[in-house]
């Protein structure tokens, strides 16, 4: 079957919602740490499942936490190891960037606050900044990225384009003018920049949203603009996504959900950002149970139907190795309710 997959500098887990991306990504972190690798796992997903699995407090969000492998196999006598985990909090990343660039910001700005909320729109961009920062530190053999589901994953991939758009030429001009001016909040400022098309844009925006929004918005944008070098520098990391030397891709799906076409669509949409080193991970497979299940002669009827339906669902994924994946790897359904035990059991499945 599959020989175990060699770790890379960057390992990215993606897929539709509820397939077990976070649990599988965590099991990968545990597995690699047990091989003696230095591992960091970053989760971008605002649903914060990792918080529950890793027993992380609200106050630790946005900071690096070291996770002891004992958490996953208490009383199982395995060799001890540990890995680092980071749950994305965009505000913490912004604070880091501000310190780096010597910027003092009004973090109370209401637009900035909304932007910094989980799923507030900057989460994906900030995660690229974090990834770049920790790659540069050379502290880790592998950084595992647990990305948000579906369309939000594409948002993550498009983060680079977003940053470019954001610092688009006309946009930069206007903010240079604003940031050089004194008395930022005086309305008169708008009339001073009549020549620029941007001032017209802002005046339309002002008409609809009111000038308080526009002023807050400009303040927020200026403070982000000041840190633009940190953002633009982070973009270089996206080049690594495209080379199989640096990056493993794991597209996670689940037998339970039968979303084959969604998985293929995600792969197709991501094509220009990723490399051919993409593995399909099929989670919650019942095959091991179905193989052991022998129907008695008198148990035909509805139980036979149950077995046939469940087997057919498995088969659909087995056929997907033809769809351009480097490997299709099955992970068994884990029938227990402790999330830590899930991670532990799945970590064993990476071995073979």
Q: Residues 122, 255, 278, 328: which binds another protein (CB under 8 A)?
A: 122
Three-state SS for 254-285 is ECCCCCHHHHHHHHHHHHHHCCCCEEEEEEEE
Q: Any contact of residue 232 with another protein (CB under 8 A)?
A: no
Q: Any contact of residue 51 with another protein (CB under 8 A)?
A: no
Q: Any contact of residue 315 with another protein (CB under 8 A)?
A: no
Contact present, 322 and 278 (Cβ < 8 Å):
no
Question: Where do the H-state alpha helices sit in the chain?
Answer: 21-34, 49-54, 90-100, 110-115, 123-136, 151-157, 159-166, 169-180, 188-192, 197-209, 211-226, 228-234, 237-241, 260-270, 287-292, 302-318, 339-349
The tokens describing 350, both together, are: 């990476």
Which residues in the 53-92 window bind another protein by CB under 8 A?
A: none
In the DSSP assignment, the letter for residue 147 is P
Contact present, 16 and 257 (Cβ < 8 Å):
yes
- What residue has token string 């799906």? 253
Q: Residues 151, 181, 186, 236: which binds another protein (CB under 8 A)?
A: 151
Strand bridging mode 142-146 / 10-15: parallel
Contact present, 276 and 244 (Cβ < 8 Å):
yes
Which residues in the 263-302 window bind another protein by CB under 8 A?
A: 265, 286, 289, 293, 299, 302
Q: Residues 107, 303, 304, 319: which binds another protein (CB under 8 A)?
A: 303
Q: Any contact of residue 145 with another protein (CB under 8 A)?
A: no
Stretch that binds another protein, among 98-106, 185-193, 270-278, 303-311 (CB under 8 A): 303-311
Q: Residues 80, 110, 304, 318: which binds another protein (CB under 8 A)?
A: 110
Size of the site for another protein (CB under 8 A): 66
- Cβ-based nearer residue to another protein, 71 or 205: 205
Q: Any contact of residue 26 with another protein (CB under 8 A)?
A: no
Contact present, 143 and 13 (Cβ < 8 Å):
no
Stretch that binds another protein, among 5-13, 30-38, 208-216, 229-237 (CB under 8 A): 208-216
Q: Any contact of residue 212 with another protein (CB under 8 A)?
A: yes
**What number of other Cβ atoms are within 10 A of residue 241's Cβ?**
20
Binding region for another protein (CB under 8 A): 16-19, 45-47, 49, 52, 110-111, 114-115, 117-122, 149-152, 162, 165-166, 168, 170-171, 197-198, 201, 204-213, 216, 254, 256-259, 262, 265, 286, 289, 293, 299, 302-303, 305-306, 309, 312-313, 333, 335-337, 339
């Amino acid at each position: 079957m599959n020989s175990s997959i060699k770790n890379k500098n960057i390992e990215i887990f993606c897929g539709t919602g509820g397939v077990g991306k976070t649990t599988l990504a965590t099991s990968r972190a545990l597995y690699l740490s047990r091989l003696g690798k230095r591992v960091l796992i970053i989760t971008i997903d605002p649903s914060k499942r990792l918080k529950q699995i890793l027993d992380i407090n609200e106050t630790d969000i946005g900071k690096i936490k070291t996770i002891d492998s004992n958490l996953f196999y208490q009383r199982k006598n395995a060799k001890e190891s540990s890995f680092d985990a980071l749950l994305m909090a965009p505000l913490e990343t912004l604070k880091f960037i501000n310190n780096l660039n010597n910027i003092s910001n009004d973090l109370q700005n209401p637009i900035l606050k909304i932007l910094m909320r989980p799923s507030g729109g900057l989460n994906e961009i900030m995660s690229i900044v974090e990834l770049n920062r920790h790659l540069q530190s050379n502290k880790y053999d592998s950084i595992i990225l647990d990305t948000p589901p579906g369309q939000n994953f594409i948002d993550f991939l498009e983060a680079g384009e977003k940053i470019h758009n954001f610092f688009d030429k006309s946009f930069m001009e206007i903010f240079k003018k604003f940031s050089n001016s004194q008395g930022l909040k005086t309305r008169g400022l708008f009339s001073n920049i009549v020549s620029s098309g941007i001032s017209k844009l802002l005046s339309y925006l002002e008409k609809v949203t009111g000038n308080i929004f526009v002023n807050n918005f400009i303040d927020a944008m200026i403070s982000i603009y000041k840190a633009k070098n940190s953002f633009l520098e982070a973009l270089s990391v996206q080049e690594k996504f495209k080379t199989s030397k640096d990056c493993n891709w794991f597209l996670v799906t689940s037998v339970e959900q039968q979303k084959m076409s969604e998985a293929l669509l995600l792969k197709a949409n991501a094509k220009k950002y990723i490399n051919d080193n993409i593995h399909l991970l099929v989670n919650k497979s019942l095959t091991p149970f179905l193989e052991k299940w022998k129907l008695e002669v008198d148990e035909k009827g509805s139980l036979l139907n149950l077995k046939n339906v469940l087997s057919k669902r498995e088969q659909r994924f087995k056929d997907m190795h033809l769809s351009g994946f480097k490997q299709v790897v099955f992970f068994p359904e884990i029938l227990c309710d402790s999330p830590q035990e899930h991670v532990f059991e799945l970590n064993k499945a990476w071995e073979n």
